[in-house]
Amino acid sequence: MIVSSRDELTELDRQIGDGDHGENLNRGFQAVVAKLDGLEEQPAQIGDVLKLVATTLMSSVGGASGPLYGTAFLRAAKVTGLAELDSSAVVALLEGALEGITARGKAVPGEKTMVDAWQPAVDAAVEAANSGSDPAGVLEAALAAAEAGALATVPMLATKGRASYLGERSVGHQDPGATSTVVILRAAVAAVDAPGE
Protein backbone atom coordinates (compact mmCIF):
# COMPACT_ATOMS: atom_id res chain seq x y z
CA MET A 1 0.00 0.00 0.00
CA ILE A 2 2.93 2.36 0.61
CA VAL A 3 4.22 1.53 -2.87
CA SER A 4 0.88 2.35 -4.47
CA SER A 5 0.63 5.55 -2.38
CA ARG A 6 4.19 6.69 -3.10
CA ASP A 7 3.28 9.29 -5.73
CA GLU A 8 0.44 10.76 -3.64
CA LEU A 9 2.69 11.03 -0.57
CA THR A 10 5.49 12.54 -2.63
CA GLU A 11 3.17 15.15 -4.14
CA LEU A 12 1.73 16.10 -0.73
CA ASP A 13 5.25 16.47 0.63
CA ARG A 14 6.35 18.49 -2.40
CA GLN A 15 3.66 21.04 -1.56
CA ILE A 16 4.73 21.66 2.06
CA GLY A 17 7.95 19.71 2.62
CA ASP A 18 10.97 18.54 0.71
CA GLY A 19 9.14 16.08 -1.55
CA ASP A 20 10.75 12.86 -0.34
CA HIS A 21 8.16 11.37 2.04
CA GLY A 22 6.70 8.94 -0.49
CA GLU A 23 10.06 7.78 -1.82
CA ASN A 24 11.59 7.43 1.65
CA LEU A 25 8.70 5.31 2.91
CA ASN A 26 8.66 3.30 -0.30
CA ARG A 27 12.35 2.47 0.13
CA GLY A 28 11.84 1.66 3.82
CA PHE A 29 8.87 -0.63 3.43
CA GLN A 30 10.43 -2.36 0.41
CA ALA A 31 13.36 -3.13 2.73
CA VAL A 32 10.92 -4.39 5.38
CA VAL A 33 9.28 -6.77 2.89
CA ALA A 34 12.69 -8.04 1.76
CA LYS A 35 13.74 -8.67 5.37
CA LEU A 36 10.50 -10.48 6.20
CA ASP A 37 10.68 -12.56 3.03
CA GLY A 38 14.28 -13.47 3.84
CA LEU A 39 13.53 -14.90 7.28
CA GLU A 40 14.14 -18.64 7.55
CA GLU A 41 11.32 -19.04 10.05
CA GLN A 42 8.37 -16.88 11.00
CA PRO A 43 8.72 -14.95 14.27
CA ALA A 44 6.75 -16.44 17.14
CA GLN A 45 5.63 -13.09 18.53
CA ILE A 46 4.09 -10.01 16.96
CA GLY A 47 6.58 -7.86 18.86
CA ASP A 48 9.45 -9.57 17.00
CA VAL A 49 7.92 -8.55 13.66
CA LEU A 50 7.34 -4.98 14.85
CA LYS A 51 10.92 -4.73 16.15
CA LEU A 52 12.26 -5.92 12.78
CA VAL A 53 10.10 -3.32 11.02
CA ALA A 54 11.38 -0.64 13.41
CA THR A 55 15.07 -1.37 12.96
CA THR A 56 14.70 -1.69 9.19
CA LEU A 57 12.90 1.64 8.88
CA MET A 58 15.42 3.39 11.10
CA SER A 59 18.32 2.13 9.00
CA SER A 60 16.80 2.63 5.54
CA VAL A 61 14.49 5.67 5.65
CA GLY A 62 15.86 9.19 5.49
CA GLY A 63 14.27 12.40 6.67
CA ALA A 64 12.09 12.63 9.75
CA SER A 65 9.80 9.74 8.85
CA GLY A 66 12.41 6.99 9.42
CA PRO A 67 13.08 7.85 13.06
CA LEU A 68 9.42 8.68 13.71
CA TYR A 69 7.96 5.49 12.27
CA GLY A 70 10.91 3.45 13.53
CA THR A 71 10.29 4.65 17.07
CA ALA A 72 6.55 4.07 16.64
CA PHE A 73 7.05 0.43 15.66
CA LEU A 74 9.68 -0.03 18.39
CA ARG A 75 7.36 1.26 21.12
CA ALA A 76 4.52 -0.83 19.69
CA ALA A 77 6.78 -3.90 19.88
CA LYS A 78 7.30 -3.42 23.61
CA VAL A 79 3.63 -3.87 24.37
CA THR A 80 2.91 -6.84 22.13
CA GLY A 81 4.82 -9.93 23.29
CA LEU A 82 1.98 -12.05 21.95
CA ALA A 83 1.30 -14.51 19.14
CA GLU A 84 -2.02 -12.82 18.37
CA LEU A 85 -3.80 -9.64 19.35
CA ASP A 86 -7.04 -9.15 21.23
CA SER A 87 -8.78 -5.78 21.31
CA SER A 88 -6.86 -4.45 24.30
CA ALA A 89 -3.55 -5.48 22.72
CA VAL A 90 -4.47 -3.60 19.52
CA VAL A 91 -5.10 -0.53 21.65
CA ALA A 92 -1.79 -1.01 23.48
CA LEU A 93 0.05 -1.36 20.16
CA LEU A 94 -1.50 1.86 18.80
CA GLU A 95 -0.86 3.71 22.07
CA GLY A 96 2.76 2.57 21.99
CA ALA A 97 3.15 3.81 18.42
CA LEU A 98 1.68 7.22 19.30
CA GLU A 99 3.88 7.45 22.38
CA GLY A 100 6.94 6.75 20.23
CA ILE A 101 5.99 9.39 17.67
CA THR A 102 5.29 12.07 20.27
CA ALA A 103 8.44 11.24 22.24
CA ARG A 104 10.60 11.46 19.12
CA GLY A 105 8.87 14.34 17.33
CA LYS A 106 7.70 16.39 20.33
CA ALA A 107 4.47 17.18 18.45
CA VAL A 108 0.97 17.59 19.81
CA PRO A 109 -2.39 17.61 18.00
CA GLY A 110 -3.11 20.76 16.02
CA GLU A 111 0.43 21.30 14.70
CA LYS A 112 -0.23 19.71 11.27
CA THR A 113 1.79 16.52 11.73
CA MET A 114 1.15 12.78 11.73
CA VAL A 115 0.05 13.16 15.37
CA ASP A 116 -3.13 14.75 14.02
CA ALA A 117 -4.02 11.34 12.56
CA TRP A 118 -2.50 9.14 15.29
CA GLN A 119 -4.15 10.81 18.30
CA PRO A 120 -7.74 10.47 17.03
CA ALA A 121 -6.92 6.94 15.87
CA VAL A 122 -5.84 5.96 19.37
CA ASP A 123 -8.82 7.73 20.98
CA ALA A 124 -11.22 5.90 18.65
CA ALA A 125 -9.48 2.57 19.26
CA VAL A 126 -9.83 2.98 23.03
CA GLU A 127 -13.51 3.84 22.67
CA ALA A 128 -14.15 0.90 20.34
CA ALA A 129 -12.38 -1.57 22.63
CA ASN A 130 -14.26 -0.24 25.66
CA SER A 131 -17.50 -0.72 23.71
CA GLY A 132 -16.69 -4.40 23.12
CA SER A 133 -15.43 -4.28 19.52
CA ASP A 134 -13.28 -7.15 18.30
CA PRO A 135 -9.69 -6.44 17.14
CA ALA A 136 -10.82 -5.82 13.55
CA GLY A 137 -13.46 -3.36 14.76
CA VAL A 138 -10.89 -1.55 16.88
CA LEU A 139 -8.59 -1.15 13.87
CA GLU A 140 -11.47 -0.03 11.65
CA ALA A 141 -12.44 2.63 14.21
CA ALA A 142 -8.82 3.78 14.38
CA LEU A 143 -8.62 3.99 10.59
CA ALA A 144 -11.83 6.02 10.27
CA ALA A 145 -10.63 8.47 12.91
CA ALA A 146 -7.18 8.75 11.29
CA GLU A 147 -8.80 9.50 7.93
CA ALA A 148 -10.81 12.30 9.50
CA GLY A 149 -7.72 13.52 11.35
CA ALA A 150 -5.62 13.63 8.18
CA LEU A 151 -8.34 15.56 6.37
CA ALA A 152 -8.52 17.98 9.28
CA THR A 153 -4.88 18.95 8.68
CA VAL A 154 -5.80 20.71 5.41
CA PRO A 155 -6.93 24.03 6.99
CA MET A 156 -4.27 23.91 9.73
CA LEU A 157 -1.26 26.18 9.94
CA ALA A 158 1.88 24.06 10.30
CA THR A 159 3.82 24.93 13.45
CA LYS A 160 6.12 21.90 13.55
CA GLY A 161 8.56 20.33 11.10
CA ARG A 162 9.61 21.50 7.65
CA ALA A 163 6.08 22.60 6.73
CA SER A 164 6.24 25.22 9.50
CA TYR A 165 8.85 27.11 7.45
CA LEU A 166 6.09 27.97 4.98
CA GLY A 167 3.94 29.77 7.53
CA GLU A 168 0.55 30.71 6.06
CA ARG A 169 1.40 28.90 2.79
CA SER A 170 1.09 25.59 4.64
CA VAL A 171 -2.66 26.18 4.99
CA GLY A 172 -4.74 24.34 2.40
CA HIS A 173 -2.52 21.27 2.11
CA GLN A 174 -2.97 17.86 3.73
CA ASP A 175 -0.08 16.73 5.90
CA PRO A 176 1.89 13.90 4.24
CA GLY A 177 2.74 12.22 7.56
CA ALA A 178 -0.91 12.15 8.60
CA THR A 179 -1.70 10.71 5.17
CA SER A 180 0.93 7.95 5.44
CA THR A 181 -0.53 7.13 8.86
CA VAL A 182 -3.84 6.46 7.13
CA VAL A 183 -2.11 4.24 4.56
CA ILE A 184 -0.43 2.18 7.28
CA LEU A 185 -3.65 1.76 9.27
CA ARG A 186 -5.50 0.89 6.07
CA ALA A 187 -2.91 -1.84 5.47
CA ALA A 188 -3.47 -3.15 9.00
CA VAL A 189 -7.23 -3.36 8.40
CA ALA A 190 -6.64 -5.10 5.08
CA ALA A 191 -4.29 -7.59 6.76
CA VAL A 192 -7.00 -8.52 9.24
CA ASP A 193 -9.53 -8.90 6.43
CA ALA A 194 -7.17 -11.06 4.32
CA PRO A 195 -4.72 -12.82 6.67
CA GLY A 196 -1.71 -14.54 5.16
CA GLU A 197 -1.74 -12.57 1.93
pLDDT tens digits, 117-170: 999 999 999 999 999 999 999 999 999 999 999 999 999 988 887 787 787 888
Q: What burial letters (b/e) apply to 105-127, b meaning 16+ CB within 10 Å?
A: bebebebbbbbbbbbbbbbbbbe
pLDDT, position 129: 97
Average pLDDT over residues 8-33: 93
To the question of pTM greater than 0.85 for the whole model, the response is yes
Residue 98 has pLDDT above 80, yes or no: yes
| DSSP characters over 77-130 | HHT--SSS--HHHHHHHHHHHHHHHHHHH---TTSSSTHHHHHHHHHHHHHHHH
149-164 pLDDT, tens digit each: 999 999 998 888 778 7
Domains and CATH numbers, the chain: 2-193 (1.25.40.340)
Q: Is there a contact between 83 and 45 (Cβ–Cβ < 8 Å)?
A: yes
pLDDT at 117: 98
